[in-house]
Amino acid sequence: MKKNRLIPIAIVLVLVIGLLAGCTSPAAPTTAPTEAPTATPTAAPTEAAAASAIVVTDALGRTVEFSELPQRIVIVGKGTTLLANSAFMFPQAEDRVIAYELRLQMKDRNFIQTIFTKNANVTLLDKDAGPEQIAPLNPDLVITKTYNQEKLGTAVEELGVKVVYLDLESTDKFYQDIRTLGQIFGNDARAEEIVGLYQANETRIADALKGLSDADKPSVLLLQYSNKGGEVAFSVPPMEWLQTVLVQNAGGAPAWKDAISEGGWTVVSLEQIAAWNPDMVFVVDYSGKAVDVVAQLKADANWQALNAVINSKIYAFPVDFLSWDQADPRWGLGELWLASKLHPDRFEGIKFTDELSSFYKSFYGLDEATINEKIMPLVSGDF
C-alpha cells in the first residue's frame, strides 16, 4: 500500500518541476533586448557625424568637404577684390578672413580696409602671392577664382590646404557662388537673403521693361578703356560674361554680339567701332576715370562721326570703390543704371543717391553716416 501512495506523489513532483522549468525557460528572449539596445546607439552617432560634415560643391563642380566651418580663410589670386567684396556681405567674414591679396583697381581705394575697420589688421599679401606666402598663414581654406586653378590653386592644394573656386561671371553663377559662401560661413539664411535682394532688383527691371520689343532695344556698345604703357585700347567682353548680360537684361542689343564668342576682353579697332556705329556707348575705365575718357572722346574728331556721340548718348559707367559693371556685388546697381539710361521713360523718378544708400545698407549693413562720409564722395559717372 505504501508503494502505491508514493506513485501519485512522484507524479505531482514531476509536474511541479515541469511547471517551474516552463516559468524559467524564457531565457532566449532575455538575450534579444540586450542586443537591440546596443545596435541603436552605435548607428546614431555615425549618422550624426555624417550630418555634421559640410560638403561644398564649388564653381568647378569639385566637392570639398569640411568637418567644421573654416575659421582661417585666405582669399588670393587674380580677381581677389571681387571675391573679398562678395565675402564681406556675410558678417562672419570679419572674423574669419585672415588674409587677402592686395589687388586694387584704384590703389587708394580699398573698400574692405576702409569700411570694415575690425579687419584693418588682416594680412595683406603682395600681388601674385604664391604657396610660399600662403602656407605660413596656416589657412584651413583658400578661396580663389576659377581661372586661377592652373597657376595657383593646384599648387596650394598640393600643400594639403583646401581650395574652393568661385566664378561670379554671370548672374546665375553669382547666385550659386553666394550660396557656396553661405555654406562656408555657416549662414545659408544670409545667402538666400542676398540672392533674394538681387532677384528683386532684376524683377523690378524686368517688370519695367515688359512689352519691350526687339525693335525698341537700342544698339549698345560697352567698351573697356585702358591706357597701359601710354597705349590706348578699347575692348569688349565675351558674350557669356556679366557685362554683356547686364546690357541684355537692361533692354539693350549688344552691337558686338556676332563678332565675339568666347575668351576674355577682346581689343577692337576704331574702324570696327565705327562699323558697328551703335546708338549708345558706355565706357568702363577700371582706373576710375571714365568721366574724363568720355569727355576726351566727345572732343575727338574720329568719334564725333558716331551716332552715339552725335546724339549725346555716350556715357561714363559709374564707379565708387569699383566700376559697377563687374562680377562684384555692385553689378545690381550697374544693371539698374544701364536700364535707366537705355529706357529713361520706363525708369522715371529714380534717384541714384537713394539707390546707392539702400544698396550699402542692405548688402553690407552700413549706416547712413558711413555711406555719406566714406562712399558718396567717391561716386562718379553719368547720372
Q: Are residues 220 and 361 in the same domain?
A: yes
Q: Are residues 180 and 234 in the same domain?
A: no
Assess if residue 28 is contained within a domain. Answer: no
Q: Are residues 197 and 241 in the same domain?
A: no
pLDDT at 121: 76
Structural domain of 345: 213-378
Q: What is each CA distance from 81 to 171, 285, 335, in whole angstroms?
A: 18, 16, 20
Give me the helix-helix angle, 331-342 and 188-208, nearest 10°.
0
Q: Which three cell numbers stand for residue 210?
A: 515688359
Residues facing 281 on adjacent strands: 221, 314
Assess if residue 370 is contained within a domain. Answer: yes
pLDDT at 362: 97
Q: Are residues 87 and 229 in the same domain?
A: no
Q: Are residues 186 and 219 in the same domain?
A: no
Assess if residue 179 is contained within a domain. Answer: yes
Give 128's DSSP letter.
T
Assess if residue 20 is contained within a domain. Answer: no
Q: Using a pLDDT cut of 90, give the percent of the chain over it.
A: 80
Among candidate residues 153, 165, 26, 141, the one with its CA nearest the CA of residue 83? 165
Give 221's DSSP letter.
E
pLDDT at 261: 60
For 228-239, write each residue's pLDDT tens digit.
888 999 999 998
Whole-angstrom distance, CA of residue 315 vs CA of residue 290:
8
Among candidate residues 209, 202, 283, the one with its CA nearest the CA of residue 252? 209
3-state secondary structure of 226: strand
The pTM of the full predicted model, rounded to 2 decimals, is 0.83
Q: What is each CA distance from 238 to 174, 241, 258, 260, in whole angstroms?
A: 17, 5, 11, 6
Residues facing 63 on adjacent strands: 57
For 95-120, write each residue's pLDDT tens digit.
999 999 999 999 889 999 999 987 76
Whole-angstrom distance, CA of residue 365 vs CA of residue 89:
8
Assess if residue 310 is contained within a domain. Answer: yes
Count structural domains, the chain: 2
Residue count of the chain: 383
Residue 259 has pLDDT above 80, yes or no: no
For 285-300, write each residue's pLDDT tens digit.
999 999 999 999 999 9
- Mean pLDDT, range 63-78, rounded to an integer: 97
Q: Which three cell numbers stand for residue 124?
A: 595683406
Alpha helix ranges (H) inside 53-187: 80-87, 93-96, 111-115, 131-134, 154-157, 171-184
Q: Are residues 184 and 225 in the same domain?
A: no
Q: Residue 136's domain is classified under what CATH number? A: 3.40.50.1980
Q: Are residues 193 and 300 in the same domain?
A: no
* pLDDT band of 338, cuts 50, 70, 90: very high
Residue 45 has pLDDT above 60, yes or no: no
Assess if residue 34 is contained within a domain. Answer: no
Query: Higher model confidence: residue 305 or residue 37?
Result: 305
Final residue in a domain of this structure, among 202, 227, 246: 202
Q: Are residues 234 and 264 in the same domain?
A: yes
Q: Are residues 169 and 248 in the same domain?
A: no
Q: Which three cell numbers stand for residue 215?
A: 525693335
* pLDDT band of 44, cuts 50, 70, 90: very low
pLDDT at 37: 37
Q: Are residues 187 and 231 in the same domain?
A: no
> Please, which contacts does 304-313 make with residues 24 or more away whose CB atoms are closer than 8 Å?
305/274, 306/273, 306/274, 306/277, 306/278, 306/281, 307/277, 307/278, 307/279, 308/221, 308/278, 308/279, 308/280, 308/281, 309/281, 311/279, 313/279, 313/280, 313/281
pLDDT at 27: 38
* pLDDT band of 260, cuts 50, 70, 90: low
Final residue in a domain of this structure, among 134, 169, 202: 202
Whole-angstrom distance, CA of residue 199 vs CA of residue 181:
18
Assess if residue 6 is contained within a domain. Answer: no
- Mean pLDDT, range 156-180, rounded to an integer: 96
For 6-39, write each residue's pLDDT tens digit.
333 333 333 333 333 343 433 333 333 333 333 3
Give 324's DSSP letter.
T
Residue with cell 526687339: 214
- Mean pLDDT, range 321-339, rounded to an integer: 97
Residue 267 phi, psi (nearest 5): -70, 135
Dihedral angle, C-alpha 217, 322, 360, 195, nearest 10 °: 60
